[in-house]
Amino acid sequence: MEIRKNSGVLKWALIGISAVFLTVMLILPLIYVMYTAFEEGIGVFLAAVTDEYALKAIGLTVRVTVLTVIINTVFGIFASWCITRFSFPGKKVISALIDLPLTVSPIIAGLIYVLTFGRQSILYPYLQGAGIKIIFAVPGIVLATIFVTFPFISREIIPVLNAQGTDEEEAAALMGAGGFTIFRRITLPHIKWALLYGIVLCTARAMGEFGAVSVLSGHLRGKTNTMPLYIELLYQGYDFTGAFAVSAILVLMAVVILVLRSVLEYKGAKSGEQAHK
């Protein structure tokens, strides 16, 4: 093969270009965050991340993320089941709607919730009457986070389910197995790596969502500030060390997520090979 044979120089040139690009664009920011976070010593770092408001922001981020991931996982599983296992009118519309949040700017995602639950909405008097506060409060943050990560899990599972086909489930149903048994014993082993991968992606985005949450949060320090918002607050207050210290936690999480991702991708590919041999 000519490309391969004469490609010694070209190969290393291309690898070099890629490596430089990725180092400058992706790795350098990581290093920079860690460097700045610990520049003034570990004591300063610890003080910054154990600040009362920092801890509250971390707590809120964890709560929002857990809630979002649970809701989207349930939704993702049911939605993929219904889209890949049945044919029904309106299926294309439903799958298009599920993917829609991917194309909507996070700011616009925030905006549509403001319009739905805000003061000018027809729902507002009822919500007010029932004493429910959604925008500029935690429920709004959760809703916005669910919206921006809505398709994350179904998008990972659907291709696997499509590749698997429906034969196994049909065979099991034919033998009298119920829905839950079929899912647990037949379907889940096929999708488990894709499902975990989707959960990991969803976690990452839920933790880090900024734009949509920013619109809906109201920025109340200690109440509705998630970690990214808290970082913004510190940064704009010129507390760079604090901002980078809290960022460092998110960087560590990102690295953990990338490692998990690689492991899951490897396991998924291996189990796919195994099953399709």
CA pair distance 210, 190, nearest whole angstrom? 34
- Asked if 269 interacts with other proteins (CB under 8 A), we say no
Instruction: Let me know: does 245 contact 44? Beta carbons within 8 Å.
Output: yes
Nearest CA to 69 out of 188, 192, 206 is that of: 206
Site for other proteins in 103-132 (CB under 8 A): 103-108, 110-116, 118, 120-121
| 23 φ, ψ (degrees, to nearest 5) | -65, -50
- Asked if 155 interacts with other proteins (CB under 8 A), we say no
Minimum distance from residue 119 beta carbon to other proteins (Å): 8
The one segment of 38-46, 47-55, 83-91, 126-134 that binds other proteins by CB under 8 A: 83-91
The one segment of 43-51, 52-60, 126-134, 245-253 that binds other proteins by CB under 8 A: 245-253
Burial code (b: 16+ CB inside 10 Å, e: under 16) for 180-209 equals eebbeebbeebbbbbbbbbbbbbbbbbbbb
Site for other proteins in 214-243 (CB under 8 A): 214-215, 227-229, 231-232, 235, 240, 243
Matching residue, tokens 């805000």: 118
Minimum distance from residue 211 beta carbon to other proteins (Å): 4
- Asked if 55 interacts with other proteins (CB under 8 A), we say no
Alpha-carbon distances, residue 77 vs 40, 80, 83, 178 (angstroms): 46, 5, 10, 17
CA pair distance 267, 90, nearest whole angstrom? 35
Minimum distance from residue 23 beta carbon to other proteins (Å): 9
The one segment of 42-50, 52-60, 69-77, 125-133 that binds other proteins by CB under 8 A: 69-77
- Asked if 47 interacts with other proteins (CB under 8 A), we say no
Neighbours of 70 (CB within 10 A): 12
Which of 9, 26, 42, 130: binder of other proteins (CB under 8 A)? 26
